[in-house]
Chain A
Amino acid sequence: MSETLIAALFIFVLASFAGFEVITKVPPTLHTPLMSGANAISGIAVIGAMVVAGPNQTNLVTIMGLVAIVLATVNVVGGFMVTDRMLQMFKK
């Protein structure tokens, strides 16, 4: 395994631990919005898809990239908006 892969693994593991620390103790009332908000963030794959679909050519690779952009954008936009819709209903 190359050094870049090892470095990326470091980042992954540390980010996971940080994630656990940030998210524990969320009250049950917010479990659904937390999940759909996190779900929207998982649409970050759109960044990778844009890079893959980036070159000015049409082949299998860019087509897969474009399809991935569409799917990930639905995930991102739909996820953030539906979370916002839910959260604006929560009242004390």
Chain B
Amino acid sequence: MDTFLPSTIQLSYLAATALFFVGLKKLGSPATARNGNQLAAVGMLLAVVATLLDRQVVNYPMIGGAIALGSIVGIIGAKKVAMTEMPQMVGLLNGLGGAASALVAIAEFYRLLLEGNVPFDATLTAILGSLIGGITFSGSFIAFAKLQGLITGKPLSLPGQKIINILLFAGFLIGSVLLLIDPLHTSTFLVITGISLLLGLFLVLPIGGGDMPVVISLLNSLSGLAASAAGFVVMNNILIVAGALVGASGLILTVIMCKAMNRTLTNVLFSAFGGATAGSGGGGADDGDKSYRQVDAEAGAMMLGYARSVVVVPGYGMAVAQAQHSVRELADQLEKKGVEVKYAIHPVAGRMPGHMNVLLAEANVPYSQLYDMDDINSEFERTDVALVIGANDVVNPDAKEDPNSPIYGMPILEVDKAKNTIVIKRSMKPGYAGIDNQLFYREKTMMYFGSAKEAVADLVSEIKQL
């Protein structure tokens, strides 16, 4: 009987871990994804119930209350959040997970302190846990604040930011060594936890809005590693394994996002992209003599309605304007007229990986109509009209043609190859990176000014009258 309960708990953890793996595997295919997510949720429930059997866990009223409170908040949040706000939501949840992991690491460290004996291993892993968890927590909240528009999406940094960061990190290392020598220095532990929070802050503040897909993926990875680190502190395998799994998936997405922008992770994190480069870009000065062509709803509707094939290229502007439903209506009208409609999705369109796909799914666009960059680029030559809605840098031909452009080398959707291109945009102002877009001045390009939602709605009503 002595070993029965502990073994039951550990075997349940093993089963839960297996469910996490199967669940994530199934999340990799659209047909099985929903089932996969549910399996992972069952795994989590199993792990929680098993933990209640732990003989150390006896404070049922308080623990039950905490779980109930968290569940209510989670349910309300998940039901209320708009699909356009998914990047913020994931950012916020990352932050909460990171905070929880850091708290577990810190609490276990204090528990050992109260017992008067902190082993070297526990100190080491608690330091790591509070570092990774702290960075995840504060970094995610800055990312959330930027995405939610609470603070500016532009890169922010203090003068001498690099030196400040190096000093902070040096302070962290010194504090850690002191703690490893004598764990009873509790104030030192508080100091390095504070430094961890500051590091997260200064990691994300200098990163611009358009780089958010990379940051969100990286914080996702870190939230997993934070859970793993907490697992090392309390020596619990399920935390270590599940955390490693999340760390791996976040890292894979981070790498995919960096590749889609042709940049390295260090470049994204430490270059304050768009801050320094925008001023030096020569493109801004000679704007005066470049001309562009404009189109109104009626003429735009004619071009679209009488085309044989149309490729829609959505970007963050569509998300901001919540225009996905109007876009779907436009596609419906066009299909009624026998036009073939496809969607071209750039990997970093929007503010998180796959953001556009979710928005279009919400508007009932079947995912078989969505095409990745590699699949659609060869088709633009045969496309009558490419309709760009709120996308900018991901369709900028400078990325292929101008070696001086800050985005040179980034793979783009080659809409400039289409027979005609209509760009829906609020004004001629450049995007977040401050880079001028040569596409707008091309002979085959028509600018259609307006907010994405109203512009598309106007197109729909004009097409109905054709």
Interface residues of A (CB under 8 A from B): 1-2, 4-5, 8, 11-13, 15-20, 22-57, 59-62, 64-92
Contact = CB atoms under 8 A, between A and B. Distances in A.
Contact of B103 (A65, A78, A83): A65
B127 to A, nearest CB: 13
B331 interface: no
Interface in B56-109: 56-59, 62-63, 66-67, 69-71, 73-75, 77-79, 81, 83, 86, 89-90, 93-94, 96-97, 99-101, 103-104, 106-108
A11 B30 contact: no
B103 A67 contact: yes
A44 B241 CA distance: 10
Scoring A4, A19, A33, A50 by chain B CB atoms within 10 A of each residue's CB, the highest score goes to A19
A11 B25 CA distance: 19
A86 B363 CA distance: 11
A23 B74 contact: no
Contacts of A24: 252
Given A31-B253, A33-B358, A45-B100, A82 B70 contact: no
Given A37-B36, A39-B97, A32 B367 contact: no
Given A31-B357, A33-B27, A35-B217, A86 B86 contact: yes
Contact of B71 (A1, A51, A73, A89): A73
A72 B243 CA distance: 13
A74 to B, nearest CB: 4
A33 B74 CA distance: 16
A78 to B, nearest CB: 4
12 contacts: A8-B232, A18-B21, A28-B353, A31-B256, A43-B44, A43-B97, A74-B73, A74-B93, A81-B74, A84-B37, A84-B38, A88-B34
A15 B231 CA distance: 13
Contact of A90 (B30, B66, B90, B239): B30
Nearest to A88: B34
A56 to B, nearest CB: 5
Interface in B219-251: 220, 223-224, 226-228, 230-251
Nearest to A36: B90
B29 to A, nearest CB: 8
B393 to A, nearest CB: 18
Contacts of B66: 53, 66-67, 69-70, 73
Given A11-B240, A64-B110, A75 B52 contact: no
Given A48-B234, A70-B70, A29 B239 contact: no
A51 B237 CA distance: 13
Given A19-B249, A71-B100, A78-B73, A47 B24 contact: no
Interface in B17-63: 20-21, 23-25, 27-31, 33-34, 36-38, 40-41, 44, 47-48, 51-52, 54, 56-59, 62-63
B121 interface: yes
Contact of A42 (B97, B103, B119, B240): B97
Contacts of B31: 92
B71 A30 contact: no
A49 to B, nearest CB: 5
Contact of A80 (B37, B104, B107): B37
Interface string B298-326: 00000000000000000000000000000
Contacts of B244: 11-13, 15-16, 19
Given A29-B370, A38-B250, A77 B357 contact: no
A28 B371 CA distance: 9
B354 interface: yes
Nearest to A62: B59
Give the residue among A4, A29, A91 with the most B Cβ atoms within 10 A: A29
A19 B73 contact: no
Contacts of B379: none
B144 to A, nearest CB: 13
Contacts of B51: 47, 50-51
